[in-house]
Amino acid sequence: MLILGMIGSLLIIIVILQKRSFRQNTSLTYLLAGAIITGIHLPTIYIQMILVYGFNVSLMNADVAACKEHTYLRYVTTVAAISFPCWAAFDQYVATSRYVTIRNRWSSLRVVRLVIVCSVIFWILIYIPIIFHTGIINHVCVFLPGAYTKFNTYVFTPFVYGIGPAGMIAYCTLGTVRNLRCSDVQQTHAKLAKQVRAMLMPQLVILAISGIPFGFQNMYLDLTSGLHKGASQIAIEAFVGQVILIFYHFNYVFTFYIYVYKSSEFRKVLKNKLFYWIPQRPMDSVQDCTNNTTRHAQVCVNDLR
């Protein structure tokens, strides 16, 4: 998943930056920002998880500073990455608005870049308390018991990971569909914009569906932490937790492959870029050989060898 996600994030960045119409599309600018944050999130977070769960080697479970740094980066990059597809859904909504002032105000690259920078700064600031409320208990990096941990478990995490994205996605999607019923908007909407919506919708569906159980998982674990659990129940909870976690990771790993599948314009740019780097095999000598007479056939074969 780490390798697939890193390759996908890198190719999203390359493809969007290759074409002028992609760079000037506001929704794709949001998705570009999401790919950049994902490219930061995957190696910094996944490598630590591989070391911990795969090789039982973990600096974050032995050093308090590393524990705080890892937890802080995990939350900031996770939420920042999932916020940009939501902003792209909002951009689709305002881009199809029948009011020109709304379209001009929000569908500006200058405004979009400002929103991206402000979003990253916002999440960097909002999660600063994590630095002071995480530590190592029983050789495991966890949240320390306290009021902030309760607030994060029961209010902030369910809203940020589940209710908030799902609500925004549903509102913007329904608004976009309603706006597209207006014939004037449909006529002025370009082919690229339709393909961007096709790229975005599966990603938003996965984000909405996976975010709700992921956001409420810690709440369930905290509510049942004082109950006696047998070995089978612990195993079932661990299995369900891993399924939820893996499904949520799809948001970061398979985004590029959704884009390739849903957009012919995206595939075209990707194909041109790949063929640019792959050297083409010269066919002139082969064609010459097929046109020569039997007397020169052996000479051509030798030349090719």
Q: Mind giving me the DSSP string for 122-155?
A: HHHHHTTHHHHSEEEETTEEEEPSSHHHHHIIII
Residue 142 phi/psi, 5-degree rounding, is -140, 170
Count of alpha carbons within 13 angstroms of residue 88, beta-carbon side: 27
pLDDT at 295: 46
pLDDT at 114: 95
Length of the chain: 305
pTM of the model: 0.80
pLDDT at 104: 79
Tokens 């930056």 belong to: 17
What is the distance between the alpha carbons of residues 48 and 177, in angstroms, rounded to a whole number?
42
pLDDT at 208: 79
Tokens of 276: 């640019």
pLDDT at 184: 54
| CATH topology assigned to domain 2-262 | Rhopdopsin 7-helix transmembrane proteins (1.20.1070)
Longest dimension (CA), the chain: 91
pLDDT at 132: 93
Q: Which residues of the chain have pLDDT under 50?
A: 186-189, 283-305
pLDDT at 281: 54
- H or E element, residue 23: helix 20-23
Where would I find the beta strands (DSSP E) of the chain?
134-137, 140-143
Residue type, 56: N
Q: Left if phi > 0, otherwise alpha if psi is -120 to 50, otherwise beta: which for 56?
A: left
Sequence-distant (6+) residues with CB within 8 A of 139 are 61, 62
What is the distance between the alpha carbons of residues 195 and 67, in angstroms, rounded to a whole number?
42
Tokens of 126: 């909002």
Torsion of CA 64, 69, 75, 78, to 10 degrees: -140
Domain boundaries, the chain: 2-262
pLDDT at 34: 92
